[in-house]
Chains A and B, each alone.
Chain A
Amino acid sequence: MHELAEKYLRKEALPLLFCPGCGNGQVLNATVRAIDELKVRDDLAAVSGIGCSSWIPVYLDIDVLHTLHGRALAYAQGLKLSRPDKKVIVFTGDGDCGGIGGNHLIHAARRNIDITVVMINNYIYGMTGGQKAPTTPYRSKTKTSPYGNDENPFDVSKVVMAAGGTYVARWTTNQPVQIQKSIQKAITHKGFSFLEIMTQCPVQTGKYIFKNQDPWETMQWYKDRSATKAEDIEKGSDQFLLGEFVEDVEEEFCERIARERDGLC
């Protein structure tokens, strides 16, 4: 076991429940490094909803709330408002965050409340067997779109930017260093931070969307279709942009409440 896993993971909960090659373990790996580098172990509280990705914080030996499907942000905001001294980080899936929890997401972003959201986008509902998610690409076949998806997918990072998130970034699992640095930045940033990580779900997305269950093949698919410069993205194609999209300074919600309500929060 890596020394940082030894230091930060709950050994009694191992092995991870994730399937072989699942990107969730790589996000956990980057998170552990970010916590170690920032030395925030005792200040951090992690919150998650339901889904495979919502199991990421369960293995961290820190304060963790594993809550209800779609409601991680409702719990996280309550926690942050009652304990503004805590740094709150949310782990959530594309279904948990952009589907059932989408309303909590836009309103948390609108408030610019100091929470870090790490959304794991695998284009699908992994845990429940590969159903269509709000992020599933147009025409993709899933368990619940056997003839292909007729809908347009959500670009959840764009939604958060439009709603008022003040730190927004997107990476794929091919960029473990950037993921770590963005988690550090997001935790340090005062305001609503959103990090979208494109991950491989070799079992469900692999089976239905990519027709290839090798985790490395999906990582390569992401590598071939992503770019860090907007001019390298062909309009109307399946390419997508990576990078840090927004880094703004705006008044944070807990601070505003404290100012307006005389130290109430």
Chain B
Amino acid sequence: MLKIIIDDKYCKGCMICFNACPKDVFKPSDSRSKLGALMPEAKNHEKCIDCKICERLCPEMCISVNKDE
């Protein structure tokens, strides 16, 4: 399975990943990043098709989509 990790040290909560993901993997959440922003949460990992559009569009380069071994 793929694992989507958002680095809470750098996320600014712009929600571009949430809007761009074609498979609705991200959901808004109540947790805040170290910068004080409301972060999205990568919820539906099993739906991810590894297109990596979230990684490419994240302005903070704080998302990584990894193979979960």
Contact = CB atoms under 8 A, between A and B. Distances in A.
Interface string A1-23: 11111000100001110111111
Contact of B16 (A5, A9, A177, A215): A215
B56 A22 contact: no
A25 B60 contact: yes
B62 A29 contact: no
Given A1-B7, A2-B55, A15-B35, A32 B12 contact: no
A29 B59 contact: yes
A8 to B, nearest CB: 9
Best-surrounded residue of A3, A9, A23, A26 (most CB of chain B within 10 A): A26
A219 B60 CA distance: 17
B61 A32 contact: yes
A27 to B, nearest CB: 9
B61 A216 contact: no
Interface string B31-58: 0000101000000000000000101111
A28 interface: yes
A173 interface: yes
Contacts of B57: 26, 29, 173, 176
Interface in A161-175: 173
A88 interface: no
Contacts of B53: 176
A25 B61 contact: yes
Interface in A21-41: 21-26, 28-30, 32-33
Best-surrounded residue of A2, A9, A32 (most CB of chain B within 10 A): A2
B40 to A, nearest CB: 12
B10 A20 contact: no
Contacts of A15: 9-10, 12, 35, 60
Contact of A177 (B7, B10, B56, B63): B56
A20 B14 contact: yes
29 contacts: A1-B7, A1-B9, A1-B10, A1-B64, A2-B55, A2-B61, A3-B64, A4-B61, A5-B61, A9-B61, A15-B9, A15-B12, A15-B35, A15-B60, A16-B59, A18-B59, A20-B13, A20-B59, A21-B14, A21-B15, A25-B59, A25-B60, A26-B57, A28-B59, A28-B61, A29-B57, A30-B56, A215-B16, A216-B19
Given A21-B59, A202-B14, 7 more contacts: A5-B61, A16-B59, A29-B57, A173-B57, A215-B14, A216-B15, A216-B16
Interface of B: 7, 9-10, 12-16, 19-20, 35, 37, 53, 55-64
